[in-house]
Amino acid sequence: MTKSTNSKNIVLASSSPYRKELLSRVLNDFSCESPDIDETPFPDEEPVEHVARLAEQKAMTVSLNHPDSIIIGSDQICVLGGQILGKPHTETKAIEQLQACSGKTVIFYTSLCVLESGQQAKTIDVVVTEVSFRVLEKDEIERYVQREQPLDCAGSFKCEGLGIALFESLSSKDPTALIGLPLITLAQSLRKLGVQVI
């Protein structure tokens, strides 16, 4: 696990501890910077367009402070019945979200933008993950929320923890996308820019 062969710095455009942990699985030398952007959707913007735009905007914003660097931007939204589910922030909202998801399929769109500062080299991808929830009893939802406190997670669960027990099935070409950063897709993009992942 090394930095790129041309010794460029690698910067994760995020303050998310989940993304930082995921990136550390494939790189051991990078920094993090939180992008300060407006994440409000544009009128009539489709979820996939919205999440792709935010990943690119995050990477572009952070690249202004890091010339001659490789910047990684990512974003994720959770959609149920055409409606975006944000982070719950409270136990009450988390319980409401999980009750709404009970017995239904939720779509997660996880975007990734990898760019080289000052260069035209840039890749943007959106990985789709389908999560089918089993029928959930209210008391088990309440126990789950109390135990795992998924208050900063869109959809109100942590699939890398106990949240996996809420599912009937999940489908994705890139399993870590659901946690917040699609590592298969990221590794492919980094290799194109000369970064040695292995």
Q: Is residue 197 part of a domain?
A: no
Q: Is residue 114 part of a domain?
A: yes
Q: Pairing relation of β-strands 69-80 and 9-12?
A: parallel
Q: Is residue 132 part of a domain?
A: yes
Tally of domains in the chain: 1
Catalytic residue among 75, 125, 152, 174: 75
Residue 122 belongs to domain spanning: 9-192
- Cα separation, 117 vs 152, in Å, equals 30
Element holding 6 (H helix, E strand): none
pLDDT tens for 123-178 read 999 999 999 999 999 999 999 999 999 999 989 999 999 999 999 999 999 999 99
pLDDT tens for 81-90 read 989 998 999 9
- State yes or no: is 29 an active-site residue: no
Q: Is residue 158 part of a domain?
A: yes
Q: Is residue 3 part of a domain?
A: no
Residue 81's domain is classified under what CATH number?
Answer: 3.90.950.10
Element holding 114 (H helix, E strand): strand 105-116
pTM value is 0.91
Closest CA to 114 of 28, 191, 20: 191
Bridge partners of residue 133, in order along the sequence: 167
